Structure 1
Amino acid sequence: MTDPLTEAPMTVGTLTARHRAYWRRTQGLTVALLLLWFAVTFLAGFCAAELNAYEFLGFPLGFYILAQGALIAYLFIIGIYVLAMNWLDRRYGVGERR
């Protein structure tokens, strides 16, 4: 089996093993980060009532986590996506040319 990273450049109308591998990795990353987003958005909301028994800085903990922690988690998810996609672009030789 050939190494997908050292194959010849893609010609019009064909999809090389390198590009299929890149697309599989991109899809896997997207699914993983969407699952993380789902967990932050919905699963944390289900636990909010129990967490409201505690306080943080004078606010119910469930409210504080959803109001502040979710925003931080979303920024974290975006940062992971940007870094991972830049790494994948360089590794597979696709993406923007600078």
Structure 2
Amino acid sequence: MSAENTDVRDRYWHKTRNLTILVLALWAFFSLVIPAMVGTLDNVTFLGFPLGFYMIAQGSLIAFVLIIWFQNWRQDAIDDEFGFGDEQ
């Protein structure tokens, strides 16, 4: 394998790793930090519900779907940038 291919592969995995770390950090925030703050968040209401209840019941689920969409969108862009995309 040439040095150029190794450099491209290393940059590809560097970007993929950073994306994975970001996605895991967001997941940890919405699955661990928000539930830990539910008591504080309940002092605020959103759509007539305590914010802590809303974030546990609906907000985290919406966040997870958005995180999945974002990860897929960015990984497709990374794949296309390095020539690994489906549209070749």
TM-score by length of 1: 0.76
Task: Give the residue type in structure 2 aligned to 1:87.
Answer: A
Task: Give the residue type in structure 1 aligned to 2:46.
Answer: F
**Deviation for aligned residue 1:60:** 2.3
- Number of equivalences: 86
Does 2:33 align with 1:34?
Answer: no
1:53 match: secondary structure: coil
Structure 1 or 2, whichever has the larger Rg, is 1
Task: Give the residue type in structure 1 aligned to 2:68.
Answer: I
Does 2:83 align with 1:93?
Answer: yes
Task: Give the residue type in structure 2 aligned to 1:70.
Answer: S
**Deviation for aligned residue 1:53:** 2.7
2:40 alignment counterpart: 50
Question: Once the two structures are aligned, what percentage of the paired residues are identical?
Answer: 36
Unaligned runs of 5+ in 2: none
> What CA RMSD, in Å, does the superposition of the two structures yield over aligned residues?
1.9
Unaligned runs of 5+ in 1: 11-15
**Deviation for aligned residue 1:97:** 5.7
TM-score by length of 2: 0.84
Whose helix fraction is larger, Structure 1's or Structure 2's? Answer: 2
CA distance in 1: counterparts of 2:70 and 2:46, whole angstroms: 28
Does 2:19 align with 1:22?
Answer: no
